[in-house]
Amino acid sequence: MSEKHVSGTKEWAIHNVNCCSGCSNNCRYCYAKGMAVRFKRMTAEEWPDERIRLHDVERDYRKFDGRVMFPSSHDITPGNIEACLTVLGKLLAAGNEVLIVSKPQFECIQVICDRFKEYLPQILFRFTIGAKNDEILSFWEPGAPSYKERLSSLLWAFHEGFNTSVSIEPMLDAENVVDLVHDLDYRVTDSIWIGKMNHIRKNIIIDSDEVAEAIHRIEQGQTDDKIRDIYNALKNHPLIKWKGGIKKIIDPRD
């Protein structure tokens, strides 16, 4: 399959593994939350209360053909860290190459780095850092860590010798995304992915003027012209990779 036909998490990994329903980050734009609410698997109020799925924790994991992303529909938090460590241990012991994706909480990243040091070549961390501004982060991702904590987690994993990458998807502060890249890049060994906020009006509950204004700011920051400006500013950066929604703008042939 050619790269231009790949989108979403398939741009990062072939397989997704999860062990929890709900996520304490409670991000307003979360696709998994939107799907769970739409199909009545959970309510919006229930989503922040993480529910560990024991059948996914206790099952055996084989060696998959291709990279495994863990997790993809929840995060790794103090509330589910033991379950996540169990699943990660099984995936790594089976010989899998694992992409660990997180809005990282420092205590969790410390434990993972310490526990799985022997599997260092099989692990790539990808930390989601959509903005430097904590006011913006706390609005869109109310249960997730501050910028300082995410940066500390990235620095820790980097200095522990793990391969590191960053996801700036969605961009929560497009005006300052170039500055964000330059603040992070020397701690990154693999890549920095930049992407738009997708399905905005489908996944986000617009229940106040504040939310409406925040959505307007996101939409204004990711118009085609603004995306091209960001692309032109970063197109020669060796670590930058563009998610599918941006590639469609900068190269319509995709």
Give me the percent of the chain exceeding a pLDDT of 70: 96
Residues contacting residue 77 through CB under 8 Å, at least 6 positions apart: 23, 24, 25, 50, 105, 108
Q: Is the pLDDT of residue 105 over 90?
A: yes
Distance, CA of 126 to CA of 190 (rounded, Å) = 9
Domains of the chain: 8-250 (3.80.30.10)
CB 27 within 8 A of CB 33: yes
Q: Is the pLDDT of residue 233 over 60?
A: yes
Question: Which pLDDT does position 1 carry in this prediction?
Answer: 33
pLDDT 10s digits, 17-58 = 999 999 999 999 999 999 999 999 999 999 999 999 999 999
- pTM of the full structure: 0.95
CB 112 within 8 A of CB 83: no
Residue 69: its H or E element: strand 68-70
- DSSP per residue, 13-60: -SEE---EES-TT--TT-HHHHHHHHTTSS-TTTTTS-EE-HHHHHS-
Confidence band for 5, pLDDT divided at 50, 70 and 90: low
Residue 147: its H or E element: helix 147-159
pLDDT 10s digits, 113-129 = 999 999 999 999 999 99
CB 153 within 8 A of CB 105: yes
| DSSP assignment letter at 197 | P
Q: Is the pLDDT of residue 8 over 80?
A: no
- Rounded average pLDDT over 74-89: 98
Q: Is the pLDDT of residue 136 over 50?
A: yes
Please list the residues that pair with 127 across neighbouring strands. 102, 166
Question: Which pLDDT does position 3 carry in this prediction?
Answer: 44
User: Among candidates 102, 105, 106, 140, which has minimal Cα distance to 123?
Assistant: 102
Please list the residues that pair with 99 across neighbouring strands. 69, 124
More reliable by pLDDT, 194 or 201? 194
User: Among candidates 5, 9, 11, which has minimal Cα distance to 248?
Assistant: 5
